[in-house]
Chain A
Amino acid sequence: MKVYLDNNRVTPVDPQVLGAMEPLLKEPYGDLHALHWAGAASRKAYNTALEKCYAALHAGEKDTIFFTSGSPESNTTLLMQLYTRQILTGRKNSLIISEREPLSILQAAAWLEEQGVKVHRLPVTEEGIVDPESLTDYLTPRTGLVSICLVDPESGAINPLEEIVRICQSYEVPVHTDATWAVGKVPIDLETLEVDYLSLSGETIHAPTGIGALYARKDTELSPLIFGTRSAPERYRGGPLNLAGIAGLGKAMELASDALDFEMEDTRELRDALEEGIAALSGTRSLIEWSRRVPNTLLAIFEGVESEALLYELNRDGIAAFSTTVHPYGEWVRPSLIERLGLDPALKHSTVGFALSRYNTEEEIDYTLKHLGKALEYLRSFSPVAPKENA
């Protein structure tokens, strides 16, 4: 049996999304600017997808959404715009991010820092989220942007973004959020969540990899990172556009917002079943309080077991889980969550996470729990730091 529980990185493509993409992949499709019938079909597909994205996010008529190759490109576009248009011109001088942002933001921020930009990194609290009050220590009228991800990709912790936005608004500083791990998991209504910019990506919402979007509220500044513009759809990102991807993303956004209520409840139930099963095993604990987490993610500590060793055992049984502490693919740029949560640093290499999607079944969860128990027992049988019960 193959069980895929790594849905915070890449999700399987939904058949309906594939259906929306198929005409653009199997048959000739025109450029957005082609005068002929093929161009007309492409324009229609593009417009449908765009409408769906606006609707899914509750974006205003005057706001901008444009398609990119994914949230890293969206993030980079925004940060480079900040640097070239606002910092180099001397209008602004600093950037505030959280220390556990996605890699594209962290690395772009490090690059900006090398160029002389002041970058403040907000620490996460013992609850695994950013404390909005800590913002006030760094916010000044010269702050160019506050960028804090809506959901932590590793732990699934939901940052209190509404409060962050409220504080930033009082300082008149724009707020950006990377919602890649939040779309389809928590309701995002841009009428109530008044962020100025929002990035999203296709691969976490059952659309293919290589497609994403950047949302910008009206009257915010924006300039392209990738040139090659011919018309308004390509105003902020040179074309030709990934039309099949855009059609897929549009469908995926529609499904994500439509399915939010019932499908996420189902996913939450499965996740909770998995969480309960893991809690019943000895020497385990899940990180981040239940109420502060997206419904599909679970990050747990397995005492006395190294992450990669556990992933290896699970993989042998066909179960795909994740950990960000495995060399050489670990994400070491981010500070260790374990230390931030105030836990023993010895547990740093013992975390394994599970991210579910609407395709997981009860049977898969039972199978996972059965093999997880077996793997733990085996690995602890020769672990020098196994918890006492096994000694």
Chain B
Amino acid sequence: MSKARIKAQGFWEDAPFKIEMLAEKPKNNGRLTEKEAKELQGTLHIHDFGSPEIGMMVRWYWALDEAGRIVACRYELFGSPVLRAVTDMAALLCRNKSLEEAEKINYKSLEYFLRDHPSNPALPENRRYLILFVLRSIVAAAAAARGESLPDSPVVCECSGAELATIENAIRDFDLESVEAIGDYTGAGAFCGRCIAPRADSAPREHYLVDILRRLRREMEEERKASGTVVDKPFKEMNPEEKKAAINAVIDEHIRQMLVMDGGDMEILDVKENGEHTDLYIRYLGACSGCASASTGTLFAIEGILKQKLDPNIRVLPL
């Protein structure tokens, strides 16, 4: 085990300032009454998600206007302070969005808004499931507001209330490779552990996480092979065209979003081989051009991500 894993993990004392602030002074908690909704020329929509048995329950109060836009958003919550912070931020993000837009809030954007600094994750690994819980509650509430209901899926882990579909989606979306990672993102298996694999001291179950993981990984592998688009080559052995494509893919997936959120963007000008290094020439667009951080923090972040994802010998040179 590495030093980082063995270190005593901070609890409340190490929470990012934003989480602490939202947990201490949430702004959107409480009820919304019919009267208040009417004053906003909307109708009140209430939806419960989760249950006290799993230690997480949120009741959304949405005032929806005629076009189906969420004009006011409040919540009641049974759950930990960190869940309160996440829910409060989600409530803020839902306001003035249509149901479809609210549903589209994804893990990355919600997590990003909870960060103190763009490169520091908001939550420790083993509490990421709180974010997914809140996102699922929004999807469920939006479906209910339209009069639909989410498809039924069997519960795999009673302790966390994680359903089969949720676990499958998490494995696909986050490319999870271990049972611990499933626990981090969905809570499944992170509690009593009886749903991980068959055990001598508990009754047999229908679904086990190890089986789900193995099946999903096999399916994903087959799909990957079938699509045929993936180049299974180390970065070093790629030709310049392939390198450019690989860098582009990483930027699209991990970097652009971060820039766009602050009103900026970037484009790739050229990729050049320079001895053992690969030099990447970029140009900042929008708010990024002229931003003081463009040649320091942001640049380091971009370079760091590329180095981590592709090759440690990549250098980024802004023009």
Contact = CB atoms under 8 A, between A and B. Distances in A.
Interface of A: 110, 113-114, 119, 121, 304-309, 312, 315-316, 325-330, 332-333, 345-350, 381-385
Given A330-B191, A348-B53, A382-B30, A119 B78 contact: no
Interface of B: 9, 11-12, 23-24, 26, 29-31, 48, 51-55, 57-59, 75-81, 84, 126-127, 159, 187, 190-193, 200-201
B78 A332 contact: no
Given A327-B127, A382-B30, A113 B200 contact: yes
Given A327-B127, A328-B127, A332-B159, A384 B58 contact: yes
A345 B23 CA distance: 26
Contacts of B12: 312, 315
10 contacts: A110-B201, A113-B201, A306-B78, A306-B79, A309-B80, A315-B12, A327-B191, A328-B126, A349-B55, A384-B57
A308 B80 contact: yes
Q: Is the interface of A mostly helix, strand, loop or mixed?
A: loop
Given A316-B24, A382-B76, A309 B52 contact: no
Q: Is the interface of B mostly helix, strand, loop or mixed?
A: mixed
Contacts, number: 84
A323 to B, nearest CB: 11
B77 A312 contact: no
Q: In the complex, which of the residues A110, A350, A383 has the most CB atoms of chain B within 10 Å of its own CB atom?
A: A383
Contacts of A110: 201
B81 A347 contact: no
A316 B13 CA distance: 11
A184 B58 CA distance: 43
Contacts of B81: 308-309, 312
Q: In the complex, which of the residues A308, A326, A350 has the most CB atoms of chain B within 10 Å of its own CB atom?
A: A308
A108 to B, nearest CB: 13
A306 B80 contact: yes
Given A312-B80, A384-B59, A385-B78, A346 B201 contact: no
A312 B48 CA distance: 24
Contacts of B9: 328
B127 to A, nearest CB: 7
Given A326-B80, A382-B76, A384-B59, A347 B201 contact: no
